[in-house]
């Protein structure tokens, strides 16, 4: 394990928990399998444990780091022609511009728990420019992302991300592999944007609205949650039981619900 004394001070406002176990870094790199032609972007490299391993395999790497105090140390790891260091908030980065006309981005990061979900959705806005994503997240969040219909963890997050990506939980990481030690387990996961996308552009916003409304109150039936949007008869016409709850529906059912709201709008 890396010596804690060599690590910079973690800042609570950035949600920093530095990965300090070399064996876990090796597992991450093995899961990513970076190749020399990849356009790889690391988010939140911190003191650079993963960055160092990636630099041994890649002629070029881009890292995005919010903490100004980390920048000098990162820039010292490699010359600028090999390592491009961006001091920026990843939530504000234009990943489409970052990809440019080159290869689709491969994105990796040990994400702070407080920004993980909005950051994934921000990146998915540029899904056409993204080949895959590999993220270390709170295990509870990963469990929700990969959950299947009917399971306790299945919900809005599951439906929304799985509509845009194939998802896979790769391995769990215990708290002792980080410094400071978090209070929860983490998990490393892979997300691969669907090619072609499952949702046509005109359904993107209606789909997001219908999923949010369907899960607004989990204890209520679908008919109750969607009252004023789709009637019980509308649901039956879609071969959906009005008395079911949202967590029992698969992705295709939510697609049908979104399409029905668009059709109703066209008729009104």
Tokens 């215990």 appear where? 174
> Half-sphere exposure (CA, 13 Å, Cβ side) for 54?
29
Is residue 65 annotated as involved in ligand binding? yes
Question: Cα separation of 132 and 138, whole Å?
Answer: 19
* Of 20, 17, 16, the residue nearest 6 (C-alpha): 20
The answer on whether 177 is annotated among ligand-binding residues is no
46: annotated binding-site residue? no
What residue has token string 């997001």?
Answer: 208
Residue 94 among known ligand-binding residues: no
**Which segments within the chain are labelled E, that is strand?**
18-19, 39-43, 61-65, 83-87, 105-110, 130-138, 165-173, 178-179, 186-193
Q: Is 81 annotated as a binding residue?
A: no
Helix (H/G/I), strand (E/B), else coil: 224: helix
Residue 265 CA to residue 261 CA, distance in Å, equals 6
Q: Is 17 annotated as a binding residue?
A: yes
Residue 90 burial (CB count, 10 A):
22
State the SS3 of 76-107. Answer: CCCCCCCEEEEECCHHHCCHHHHHCCCCCEEE
Whole-angstrom Cα distance, residue 146 to residue 166?
A: 9
Closest C-alpha among 193, 158, 188 to residue 173:
188
Please choose, from the candidates 98, 76, 94, 74, the residue with its C-alpha nearest in 3D space to the C-alpha of residue 85. 74
Binding-site positions read 17, 19, 44, 65, 89, 110
The binding site for S-adenosyl-L-methionine comprises: 17, 19, 44, 65, 89, 110
């Amino acid at each position: 394990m890396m010596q804690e004394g060599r690590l910079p001070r973690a800042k609570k406002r950035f949600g920093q928990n530095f990965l300090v176990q070399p064996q876990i870094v090796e597992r991450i790199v093995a899961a990513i399998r970076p190749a020399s032609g990849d356009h790889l972007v690391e988010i939140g490299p911190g003191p650079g444990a993963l960055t160092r391993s990636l630099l041994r395999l890649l002629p070029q790497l881009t890292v995005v780091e919010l903490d100004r105090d980390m920048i000098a140390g990162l820039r010292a790891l490699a010359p600028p022609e090999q390592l491009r260091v961006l001091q920026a908030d990843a939530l504000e980065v234009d990943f489409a511009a970052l990809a440019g006309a080159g290869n689709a981005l491969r994105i990796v990061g040990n994400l702070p728990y407080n920004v993980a979900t909005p950051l994934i959705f921000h990146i998915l806005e540029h899904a056409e420019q993204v080949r895959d994503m590999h993220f270390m997240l709170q295990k509870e969040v990963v469990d929700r992302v990969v959950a299947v219909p009917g399971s306790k963890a299945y919900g809005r997050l599951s439906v929304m991300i799985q509509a845009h990506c194939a998802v896979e939980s790769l391995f769990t990481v215990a708290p002792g592999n980080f410094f400071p030690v978090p209070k929860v387990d983490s998990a490393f996961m892979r997300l691969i944007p669907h090619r072609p996308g499952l949702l046509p552009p005109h359904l993107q916003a209606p789909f997001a609205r219908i999923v949010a409304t369907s899960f607004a109150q989990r204890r209520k039936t679908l008919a109750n949650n969607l009252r004023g949007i789709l009637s019980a008869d509308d649901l039956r016409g879609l071969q959906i039981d009005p008395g079911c709850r949202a967590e029992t529906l698969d992705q295709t059912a939510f697609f049908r619900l979104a399409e029905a709201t668009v059709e109703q709008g066209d008729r009104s």
